[in-house]
Every structure is written in structure tokens, then in C-alpha cells.
Structure 1
């Protein structure tokens, strides 16, 4: 797995001289991930970044527009990164292994951003252009998984009774790392990715293979990810 030091927002959220857009987005991800979009007000954001409500509205048109923008950039970043990673991948097993390891790594490295991306679609207004756009981006990403499983089944590389259920199960396994992975835990990220690849290939009845090489430099990097995100478990959450 390639080396990469992921950037984290190091800006002081209350520093009025720091970039306001960066502070607002970092605070939004922090609050949306911790307490939920619905429970977060513009006043909460303003208080967190030491601004007035009017100051927030100078940079964002609405709370929902801010959420939609965060989700849009995150989803598009995931799509672009996946396209880069799969460019030279040969065979459905290689492609599935890269999909598993990359989705796992993105959620482990940017847990708060991915919690918002995965969990707050419900907060966008039904029928709105923003919600339709995010759904289209999500579907475009999931098409990589659909394609990998379909190719594997068609060529006989995979034996899958229900491709949709298999896809949902594997993706849920990967995205779950945003909730429990800790960099100081018992397993390294490389070990988690390798084990998940083994589990995923076993689920499609594919032969065991060497660990897929994941180049971390190809993954999306979200500069607003709060610096304490991976080391701030809920008080009652046991380290795994």
C-alpha cells in the first residue's frame, strides 16, 4: 500500500485571520458528523468559527447548500479517484480488490467527511436539483461495483447468487470503518484492507490472491477533515 500522509485541517476554527471557507467547512463536517445535520444550526456553525450568522451567510447561501457542496465534492472526489485506480486494473478480481481496499481506506482516513457523505442524503430536500445530483453521483460510483461483479459473474471468475445483495454487503463492510477504525488500534489500515479483500473475494467464491496494491496517493483528500476525527471516539465506544 503506497505511502501517503493525508492532510488534515490545521486551521484554528476561531481564528478570524484564517481562511473563512476552510473554517466553515471544517466546522460543518465536525458538527454534521457528531450531532447530525438536522440538529446543527447556522448559529452553531457561527459560534464554532467565531463568526456572526451574517458572516456565515456571506460565504454560504444556506445550510443545505453547504451540505450539498460538501457531499458533491466528496462524491466526485471518490469517483475521480476510483477511475484513476481502476485504469490499469486487469480482471474482475483485481478491480473488486481495489474497490474494497480503496473504499475501506477512504472511510478510515476521512471518517467524518464520509459519515456526512453517506448518512445525510436524507437531509437534502426531496426533488431538489442538489439531491438529484448527489444521487446521480452516488449511482455513478456504485456502477464501478456493479460492473466488477457483473464482469466476474459473466466470465465465471465469480459465483454470486445475488449481485445486488453482495454489492450492498461488501460496501457496508468497507464504509463501516468510519465508525470503528482507529490508527492506534490493534490492526493497521493495511491489515484491515488486506483482510477485507480476502473476505470480499471469498464472498464471490473467487480464489484467494495476493493483496491488491493500493496507492494511497490516488485516493481523494478532503482538506476540511477535522484533525481529531480519528482519535475522538464516542465516550462509550470501545476501541477495536
Structure 2
């Protein structure tokens, strides 16, 4: 419970954007620890204990707001029921191929802000495969973008904003960064919003898979707190 609290105090953290506790940490720098058989070793840390430490950090004025990432609805309810401070935000993957309609509704009904990461499908991520769909090149999305004289990326950002979702597009290109900000001079029609939402296929770009008997399945599904086994 005290690990994250002590870390914040020790390094005088001004902004802690993400603290990962799903992997086992043995005090070394190994990012993906494995056992003697090569299997990933997962942490058995309770997220409720971690949440209590974060609440103490709020009480002591070390942080202003605390939230969650990649939690499902059951886990969020678990935190709300057992904690004193409600999560301020949930950060999850959201884009037209993974619209997260039910999870977004669940959070917004509880006044939890939803932040969308990888809104463009993270096409430059290291584990991308040649056979996966390229979101920014979706023909229907390009048609809508052409109608508004915008890029497909700008249309996605606008679609998320109009759903009251905070969006954090990543780019190291100055021109694209400026383009990503230029989304306040148009509004998508209700019909176009619905069309984009219809692209949903529950497809996760930010997940690791393995092949078992010729089929793709989540690599980390045996992890104690694996969040993607629930409907939302």
C-alpha cells in the first residue's frame, strides 16, 4: 500500500500520470519479468490497496486528483464501493473501431471523465502487424473527412469531443500537432456521428495477443486483474 505513496514523497512528484502495478516488481529494472519457464510473472497487488495509498496522497495534499486506466465497469464499481474518493477519470482505448459505448455511458453516469488514448489506432506502435486494419485509411471515414474538408484524424478527434470524451492524440510532428488542435471550426452532424459509431468492431489495437490452436487470444488473460474479459 505504501509503495506508490512513498514514491510520490521520495521523488517530490508534481505530476504522476500513470503508475503500473500489473507486473511483478522485484527491485530490478526488468520490464517484463518471467519465471524459469519463460511465463510472464504478474503482480498480486490489490488495486484496492493501491487506491487507499492514492487516497492518502490526496489527503496529504501530494496529489489533486486520482483516476484509473484500463479498468472495466466491475472494477470501477469495486473501487467506488470500497474507496472514499471517487475516481476522477478513466483512461481507456477509444476510437471508431472500439467505441466503448457502454463503458463511456457507465462512467459519465457516475461523473467520471473518460480520456481516450490511441484515438487513431497507434499505427506506429512496434507490435503493429501488416494484416491489421488501418483506421485512418478507412474509406467511409475518409469520405466523411472529405465532406468537412478535414483529415480523418481531425474527424476522429471531433467525434470523441462531441461524445464528451477527452482525447489525447500523440504526435511528434509539429504540423500534425497543429492540425490536431484545428477541430473547433466544424461540428459533425448527428447522422455522421452515428455512422462513425457504427464502425465499432470491438477491436483493440493496444493489446497483446498470442496464437493458441490457430486462434488469437489475449496474452495476459491469466493476469489476476485482467480487465478485458468483461463485456465492458
Work out whether the TM-score is over 0.5. Answer: no
Q: RCO higher in 1 or 2 (8 Å CA, sep ≥ 6)?
A: 1
TM-score (norm 2): 0.29
More helix by share: 1
